[in-house]
Amino acid sequence: MSRILIIEDEQQLCRALCDNFAFEGYEVIVAGDGASGYSKATAEKPDVVILDLMLPRMSGYDVCRKLRADGVNTPILMLTARGEEADRIAGLDLGADDYVTKPFSLGELGARVRALLRRAGRLRAMPDKLQLEGIVIDFAAYEAHKDGIPLELTRKEFQLLRLLAARSGQAVTRDELLIEVWGEETYVTNRTVDTHVANLRAKIERDPRHPRRLLTVHGIGYRWDEQNSTKT
C-alpha cells in the first residue's frame, strides 16, 4: 500500500482528495498548512506528496525547497493555479517532480500520482552509484563529488544521468528521456534534453566539447559510454 501525504488548506478539496485516494487504496496522511506538511513529509515517510502552492504558515515553494535541502527525495506533485507557467517552472526548479493545474479532475491527478510512483520504482531499480575519474555520483542521495568537492547537479541532471548509465552502451532517444525524466510536463521539448545534456557535460566531462562518456547519437539521442567508470 502506498502512503500519500496531501498538503492542502482548502478543506473541501482536501476532503475530496482524501476520500478519493483512500478509495483507491492509498494510506492517506493530511496536513492543512505548510509547516505541518513539512514535518509530516519528513516524519511519516510518505511515498508521494501532493503539495498545494498557496498555504498558510509556509508556502508550497518553501516546503519543497526545504525538503530537498534536507535530502528528502520523495516525489512531489504540485498543485498550481491556472495559467501560471512561471509558478510551475519555479516549482520544478525547486525540486518538484510534476504539477497539476487547478481545477483538475481526480482521474487526471490519480494518473499523475501513479506515474510518479512508477517512475520512482524504476529509478530505484537503476544504479545507485557511479564512479569515474575522481567523480563519485550517489543517485539515491542526489549527491555528487569531484575530487572530494561537492559537485552541484540538478535533480533532473541526476535522473538523466542515472537513466543513461543504467542503459550504458545503448542509444536512448530524446523522447524516452523526456518521458522518463520529465514525465507529463508539457512545456518541455527535445531542446530541454539537449540543454541538460550540455550542462551535465560541462560538469562531468574533462573536455565538454569533445565528450568521451555522454555521447551524442545523431538523429536519435544520447548514449553513455561506461569505459573507465563503474556503477554499483
Which of 18, 54, 120, 215 forms a contact with Ca ion (CB under 5 A)?
Answer: 54
Q: How far is the CB of 57 from Ca ion (least distance, A)?
A: 11
Asked if residue 52 binds Ca ion (CB under 5 A), the reply is yes
Of 34 and 46, nearer to Ca ion (C-beta) is 34
State which residue, 79 or 188, has the beta carbon closest to Ca ion. 79
Q: What is the C-alpha separation between 163 and 4, in angstroms, rounded?
A: 25
Could you identify the residue written with the cell 555520483?
137
The Cα–Cα gap between 133 and 44 comes to 38
The correct pick among 2, 3, 9, 208 for binding Ca ion (CB under 5 A) is 9
* C-alpha atoms less than 13 angstroms from C-alpha of 135 in its C-beta half-sphere: 20
Q: Is 128 in the site for Ca ion (CB under 5 A)?
A: no
Residue 35: C-alpha distances to residues 42, 55, 65, 79, 148 (Å): 11, 9, 13, 17, 35
Q: Quick one: 9 or 176, whose CB is closer to Ca ion?
A: 9
For 81, phi then psi, to 5°, come to -80, 155
56 vs 71, which CB is nearer to Ca ion? 56
Q: Does 87 bind Ca ion (CB under 5 A)?
A: no
Question: Which residues form the interface with Ca ion (CB under 5 A)?
Answer: 9, 52, 54
